[in-house]
Structure 1
């Protein structure tokens, strides 16, 4: 869901000349700016070659829920895969910005396993990208422009209670951001390199407005 929103904002941005997607299948989108790199194994990027050279920013939106998943599998996807992509990018585009979609509540000292794993991932990304690493910790994200969440729970929540979101935004604007705001905020940090490197919903909304 986040990736769809970020892709839309990148393709609409006049100062973005090219969008490169990296995945096991090409994106279901047709646009002259879009170039897909398809790999069978995201844990082995040796065959990508120069495909990641000359990249200005990576918006890393891949993520999974820890519900019903073993600790080992969750850590492999959340930690190992993220750091593997980060290292591959840094080797080919050393000046790139790396934006990682984490989540509200992320902390290495949390009692929750998912928060610990994401906290360690954040820390090591900031060690690799101390000047141009940004950790996005959104809370609730409202999908816009026909974007559909992959999560069944999220889809059911939107279908049953989506009408409440405008009320929540008015009553507690710090708790909700949209897919559009997340995408625009990512573009803003890539363009301006702001000093705050861990951003939650209020900062995401402010970056999107700027």
Structure 2
């Protein structure tokens, strides 16, 4: 039989172990060691000379405050003014447009090659301010070369990404350390398109820029 003293020590030790496991389970991803890899980024980003000049089309003007908020958030997280607004669509690398022609499951999509972020008006008009801003922040993350983390191949990490990260789609407007470090990393591990390559994509009728100009998106 165990003596009372020994039993007390055993119970105390068990509690400490249980508390330790509980703390590990609730640990935020920012405190985890997650190795960035190619499954997290695409092949290119939208920067040119270190910046992404963006234009807000008339059908997205209603979201101007959300776009301004999101670009400022990313600029602060990146530690430099990457996103800069321009009044010329032809001089832009990125165009924001509002559309009702996206699939019902998409609140917004980013098409990197021709430089378009399409915001689904049927969702955006119903969302509150936080969700609208979160959608824009997430889509801007793609222009930096980062993939959607809610489809990450590792199931355990995928679940954590969904709950805790911007690119995991958690509808947060706070760009935490993990997302900012990942964005900086993807910018270094993706390439910027030359002006010739970029204009070639913008002339492609199958991509979003031309579809937008011709009212198909």
TM range (shorter): under 0.3
What TM-score do the two structures reach when normalised by structure 1? 0.25
Which structure has more relative contact order (CA 8 Å, sep 6+)? It is 2
Q: Which structure is larger by alpha-carbon Rg, 1 or 2?
A: 2
